[in-house]
């Protein structure tokens, strides 16, 4: 006989264990707290240092942990999303090629790879919430170190030249700068870099390395702590709630990036260009200060949780697990035991295939996690603020919905391991189909603009003007052709129209001319030619939102398979080992590879004396085909590995018999009693 699960065991953590919450509330007196300490040695006591007391013990519950862990995860993902949202501005400010920015972005994955397994194995035996708090303190250091670049080097000469105050203070320098944009009779000297080429890159990479240690501590220990301190029947709901809260992080992080990038990099100065101008640089540094403060508060809250939740200890003692024996076994672990555990996990086919499938998915989709704002800016000619807003607030809202829906379905219908693996495979193949749609969603006007710009830069007339080291300062001809600069257009003079807009005159390198006052006059207007790709951008955004919704629905199923295929005693280490392998084979090489791929389709580089600088213009059509087809191929192979997981997960139990509801147990007892009476 069956009982309505919804009435007996609620599917949401917020409704879970009312009896245990009442029990915790009864422990608010000093006598009860001291008794709890006597039994457990203080391991179930909430708080630390000055932040402790009997009144805080009521917060040592599963529900409170899931909420605070989710909020802390939200703050952590905000930092990574904010970095991705401001990466194009960092490239412009410090003249970093995309390949190098890809290497910088994997710094956290390198340190995660080096530390996840060891920290999961050894720190997993200690006070896990305290270790997670230490991990969040490293995120504070990451935020402060990244933002310090702005306070060390300032806004930069390139950004200051585009402000009204610069022209007023340095009239002579401003006049020379304007003359350098025009056609030159002799070769000009190369552009000296205002700062060392590698110093900012080393700063950014070191900050990422530090954040990776915090990421390893937080995720590896946090998920295992949640699973060990909760009943398995509620694990899907707890995972979904915490994942949903974490999914809000990228949305908020990208929104914060969009807000900061709307401000000029030096907010106290008045810029002479608009946000749509490709030379615009926003206040990328501002959000890091906010994120550092939020990470510090989150760390303090996690520090307060006990080593083991009181409800978990009671369940463990009721099951007859001797406390002393349990703790001795944990302390006896050694390096040889760890290697034996590695060999045991390597023979676990579900664990191996599930990890490999995740790695291939991560490798292919990592390009979109990091470079989607850049993709939108280059393909559809949107501003950096618009690109980050679309990537974060809009698209990731669908990701959060996917996590919630999947958590509800798993909690209500309790699917088998095979059903979860088959859904993961379906998600992979649907994602491949969506990425193939990206190939078809191009902007013909943008593609044509780039090709014409390149042709205009390669003619012999431009070569005679010696424009090799002229800054990227696009101008538009009457024929709607964009030139890299007035120098590339062969312009020899400048003036202003009635509206105050700069007009370049005597542009001899243009293919045709216009008639003005009966005389032949060739001119160009400052700025890129207008291109309307907004409709194509909306179609792309629609497909991306659908893929976010579908892709997020497989997060909980993938994680549940990973948790259930590992023995209880190896869970923390297994998650850490999987994180290490995923970093080594997926998270680290993917951004470097796709950064190199993107740079291969650059048309215009910002040359300096020592390097080619950052890319200003891409071959958008070729890049669209190469990037999307390459990413789709990795995810396609991962789908077949999920089919292998389905094949080997036949006997894997996601929900154990001990997860039966109290009603089901009573019904079974009544049935047994009736059968005895009949005999």
Q: 345-349, 379-383, 615-619: which has the highest mean pLDDT?
A: 345-349
pLDDT tens, position by position, 458-493: 666 777 787 777 777 888 888 888 888 888 888 888
pLDDT number for residue 38: 38
3-state secondary structure of 459: coil
The percent of residues above 70 in pLDDT, for the chain, comes to 79
pLDDT value, residue 321 = 47
pLDDT, average across residues 228-233: 73
Classify strands 475-476 and 502-505 as parallel, antiparallel or unpaired.
Answer: unpaired
> Which of the pair, 159 or 296, is modelled with greater confidence?
296
Residue matched to tokens 């191929």: 633
| Rounded-to-integer distance, Cα 559 and Cα 220, Å | 12
On the question of pLDDT at 35 being above 50, the answer is no
8 pLDDT above the threshold of 60: no
Contact 5, 661 (CB under 8 A): yes
The pLDDT, as a whole number, for residue 403 is: 83
User: What's residue 191's pLDDT?
Assistant: 58
CA–CA distance, 396 with 402 (Å, rounded to integer): 10
Closest CA to 547 of 645, 612, 635, 649: 635
Euclidean distance between CA atoms 380 and 396, whole angstroms: 20
The per-residue pLDDT for range 386-399, each reduced to its tens digit, is 887 887 777 777 88
pLDDT of residue 545: 92
| C-beta contacts of 337-345 below 8 A and 24+ residues apart | 338/121, 338/573, 341/570, 341/573, 341/574, 342/577, 344/570, 345/566, 345/570, 345/574, 345/577
Tokens encoding 602: 């650059």
Q: How many CB atoms lie within 10 A of CB 52?
A: 15
* Confidence at residue 515, expressed as pLDDT on a 0 to 100 scale: 40
Torsion angle of the four alpha carbons 386, 388, 393, 395, in this order, in degrees rounded to the nearest 10: 100
530-589: per-residue pLDDT in tens? 888 899 999 999 999 999 999 988 888 888 898 888 887 787 788 888 888 888 898 889
Q: Please report the beta strands in 527-647, taking only residues with DSSP state E, as ranges in sequence order.
A: 602-605, 615-618
Residue 329 has a pLDDT of 47
Instruction: Give the tens place of pLDDT for each residue, 486-544.
Output: 888 888 888 887 777 788 888 888 765 444 443 345 888 888 888 888 999 999 999 99
- Beta carbons within 10 angstroms of residue 490's beta carbon: 24
Confidence of residue 679 (pLDDT cuts 50, 70, 90): very low
Mean predicted lDDT score pLDDT of the chain: 78
SS3 state at 521: strand
Q: What is the Cα–Cα distance from 323 to 459, expressed in whole angstroms?
A: 81
What local confidence, expressed as pLDDT, does residue 179 receive?
59
How many CB atoms neighbour CB 71 within 10 A?
Answer: 20
User: What CA–CA distance (Å, rounded) separates 381 from 389?
Assistant: 14
Give the pairing of strands 523-526 and 51-52: unpaired
**C-alpha–C-alpha distance, residues 139 and 119, integer Å:** 17
C-alpha to C-alpha distance for 243 and 260, rounded to whole angstroms: 26
The angle, 0 to 180 degrees and rounded to 10, between the axes of the packed helices 128-153 and 199-228 is 160
Sign of the dihedral defined by the CA atoms of residues 275, 280, 286, 287, in that order:
positive
pLDDT band for position 436 (cuts 50, 70, 90): very high
> What is the per-residue pLDDT across 649-678, written as a single tens digit (0 to 9) for each?
888 888 765 444 443 444 444 444 444 444
Q: Is 48 left (phi over 0), alpha (psi -120 to 50) or beta?
A: beta
């Amino acid at each position: 006989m069956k009982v309505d699960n919804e009435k007996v065991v609620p599917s949401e953590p917020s409704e879970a264990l009312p009896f245990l919450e009442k029990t915790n509330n009864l422990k608010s007196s000093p006598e009860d707290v001291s008794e709890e300490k006597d039994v457990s040695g203080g391991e179930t006591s909430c708080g630390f240092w000055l932040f402790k007391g009997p009144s805080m013990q009521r917060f040592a519950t599963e529900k409170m942990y899931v909420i605070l862990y989710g909020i802390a995860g939200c703050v952590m993902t905000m930092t990574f999303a904010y970095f991705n949202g401001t990466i194009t501005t960092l490239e412009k400010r410090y003249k970093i090629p995309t390949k190098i920015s890809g290497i910088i972005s994997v710094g956290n994955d390198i340190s995660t790879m080096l530390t996840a397994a060891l920290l999961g194995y050894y720190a997993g035996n200690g006070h896990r919430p305290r270790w997670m708090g230490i991990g969040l303190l490293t995120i504070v250091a990451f935020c402060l170190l990244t933002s310090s670049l702005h306070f060390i080097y300032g806004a930069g000469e390139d950004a200051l030249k585009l402000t009204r105050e610069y022209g007023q203070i340095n009239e002579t320098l401003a006049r020379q700068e304007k003359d350098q944009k025009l056609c030159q009779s002799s070769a000009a000297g190369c552009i000296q870099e205002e700062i060392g080429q590698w110093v900012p890159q080393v700063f950014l990479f070191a900050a990422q390395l530090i954040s990776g240690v915090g990421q390893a501590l937080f995720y590896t220990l946090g998920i295992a702590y949640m699973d060990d301190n909760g009943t398995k029947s509620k694990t899907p709901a707890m995972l979904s709630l915490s994942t949903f809260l974490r999914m809000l992080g990228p949305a908020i992080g990208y929104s914060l990036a969009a807000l900061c990038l709307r401000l000029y990099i030096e907010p106290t100065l008045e810029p002479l260009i608009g946000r749509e101008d490709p030379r615009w640089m926003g206040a990328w540094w501002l959000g890091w200060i906010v994120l550092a403060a939020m990470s510090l508060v989150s760390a303090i809250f996690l520090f307060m949780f006990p080593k083991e939740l009181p409800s978990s200890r009671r369940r463990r003692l009721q099951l007859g697990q001797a406390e002393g024996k349990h703790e001795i076994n944990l302390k006896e672990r050694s390096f040889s035991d760890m290697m034996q555990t590695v060999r045991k996990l390597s023979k676990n086919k579900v664990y191996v295939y599930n990890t490999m499938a995740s790695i291939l998915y991560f490798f292919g989709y990592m390009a979109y996690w990091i470079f989607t704002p850049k993709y939108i800016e280059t393909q559809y000619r949107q501003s950096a603020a618009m690109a980050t807003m679309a990537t974060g607030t809009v698209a990731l809202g669908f990701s959060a919905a996917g996590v919630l829906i999947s958590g509800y379905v798993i909690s209500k219908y309790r699917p088998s391991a095979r059903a979860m693996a088959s859904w993961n495979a379906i998600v992979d193949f649907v994602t491949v189909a969506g990425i193939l749609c990206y190939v078809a969603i191009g902007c013909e006007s943008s593609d044509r603009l780039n090709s014409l710009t390149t042709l205009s830069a390669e003619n012999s007339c431009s070569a005679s003007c010696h424009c090799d080291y002229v800054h990227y300062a696009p101008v538009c001809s009457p024929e709607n052709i964009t030139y890299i600069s007035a120098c590339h257009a062969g312009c020899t003079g400048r003036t202003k129209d009635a509206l105050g807009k700069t007009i370049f005159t005597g542009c001899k390198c243009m293919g045709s001319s216009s008639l003005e006052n009966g005389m032949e006059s060739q001119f160009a207007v400052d700025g890129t030619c207008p291109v309307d790709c907004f409709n194509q951008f909306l179609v792309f955004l629609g497909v991306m939102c659908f893929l976010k919704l579908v892709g997020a629905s497989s997060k909980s199923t993938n994680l549940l398979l990973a948790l259930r295929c590992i023995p209880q005693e190896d869970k923390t280490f297994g998650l850490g080992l999987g994180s290490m392998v995923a970093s080594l084979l997926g998270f680290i090489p993917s951004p470097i590879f796709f950064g190199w791929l993107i740079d291969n389709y650059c048309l215009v580089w910002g040359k300096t004396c020592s390097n080619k600088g950052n890319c200003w213009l891409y071959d958008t059509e070729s890049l669209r085909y190469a990037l999307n087809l390459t990413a789709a191929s990795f995810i396609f192979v991962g789908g077949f590995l999920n089919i292998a997981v389905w094949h080997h997960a036949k006997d894997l139990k996601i929900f154990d018999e001990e997860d039966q509801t109290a009603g089901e147990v009573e019904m079974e007892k009544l049935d047994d009693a009736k059968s005895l009476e009949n005999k």
